[in-house]
Structure 1
Amino acid sequence: MWEGYVLINYINYMSGRAVSHSPLLRLAGVTLQYTAEEEQEHKFPLLSAKCLSYMLTRALECGAFFLQFLQWWHSGDKLRTSLTALPIPSPPEKTDRGKQHGGKCPICLQNRKIETVLAVSGYVFCYRCIVQYIQENRQCPITKYPADLGDLIRVYSTES
């Protein structure tokens, strides 16, 4: 039904009986009209000036970006360093507590069973001790850094 109405409206528009080519535009009151030639002649220089201004602005922006990119590219050779070329930091000194309890769990003070590292601090604990502690406190027992069960890493040693 709607398509038929649209077709009739197109035929009326082509024959000059309708002022709009679409029924929806007709309801909105929008019509298509030709402009006078004098108006077109006055608008063309203004339109071409705006277009030229827009293109020059964009060209300037692209040129500035390209120059900055080239500067970065050429200066980057001197500044870029590989992460593997950086010196390896020395290990931290053992604390008194670490020297006192070497090889023992800092929580239960027994020999560690199922050694597990807490990644946020680097300390090694018994698996059961650290799981229970983290579930209750949500932090490292030594450093008090926030931690969860996803921060635990099982240590597989060849000594045992």
Structure 2
Amino acid sequence: MEFLSNLGTAGDIHRPSVFELVAQEKMRDLLRPALRYLLSVYAQRYPRYLLRLVNNHDELYAILTLAVERHYLGEWGASFPENFYGLKRVSVGKVQSRSKGPQPLTRSETWLSLFFLVGVPYLKSKLDEAYEKVSGGSGARIFGNVFAENNDASLELEPLPVRMKKHTKATFKAVYPYINGAYQAAIFLYQIGYMYGKTEFYSPWLHLAGLKIRRMSMKDYVTAAARVAALSSASRLQWARHLLAVLVRRGFDFLKYALPMSIFFFKFLEWWYSSEYHKQGGARPIPPPPDPVAPHPEGIPLPEDLTVCALCLKKRTNPTMVPSGFVFCYPCIFRHVEEHEACPVTLVKTSTEQLRKIYSAA
């Protein structure tokens, strides 16, 4: 176990082990679902105020992360998870002077770190979401392109903007898996190289920013404490000017304890709502079904024969239901939703992930 805890240190006490770096990375990965879960739970009680935040969760998380990381990079020279584990960022070409003590990150290093900590994950999540939408989701990955529409003759008859949009989607769908594979492979290779001492950079983003991760020394903590004490002293002389700065600083420092506690609370809620205790104590009668969604005046008309698909006007095969409750042939509704992203009858916004096949009990 002593070997495992010191793996990757190579005799350098300030070089963090790969396990410390993985731990701070996992902590960052847990914050996003925790925030999403809390918002979704409270949005059910206060939809008027929180539903828009839930729908724009990625943007909200990016803004909050930007504010938190900006504070910790400016005050501690480290991201929030790195500071939680006693780590800091140091410029590769910067010589640390003993007389001056630890040197803070420059403005360019701070903004580069913010881009790689906030901007890159945000762009990656949006690209993943776009690929999930273009590829048709898990259903399309299981069944392949069986229901894809590859009629080149009909494609030539469509307007140029529509053709360009479809070609762009097809190109993105074909190319993005390779881009994502290269992205994951680069991160993995850097981690392996760091673990075996072949590189001092744990990730390609640190390499591009010219920064490496080091353990904080006692001098770092003493310098930070002196800086906070100086600000508190100044606030007594200029109370009105520095009060807000002190409150913001204390609030961000409190996050070091509040956010990990929220993660454990999130995991506890996950366990509670999936346990038998919650199911037994909260058993309630099944509520009545909601009122059916009325057909939209601009939607397609419904056939008189309920066994006929409203899209192809033929006997329905492989019946599939949309969230609004109407049933169509799976190939017909899949192609329609993939192109228009809406129910053909009610025009309610729908995705291919929400399609549900109906199986006969006979």
TM-score, with structure 2 as normaliser = 0.20
The normalised TM-score by structure 1 is 0.41
Question: Per residue, is there more helix in 1 or in 2?
Answer: 2
Which of structures 1 and 2 has the bigger CA Rg?
1
Higher relative contact order (CA 8 A, sep 6+): 2
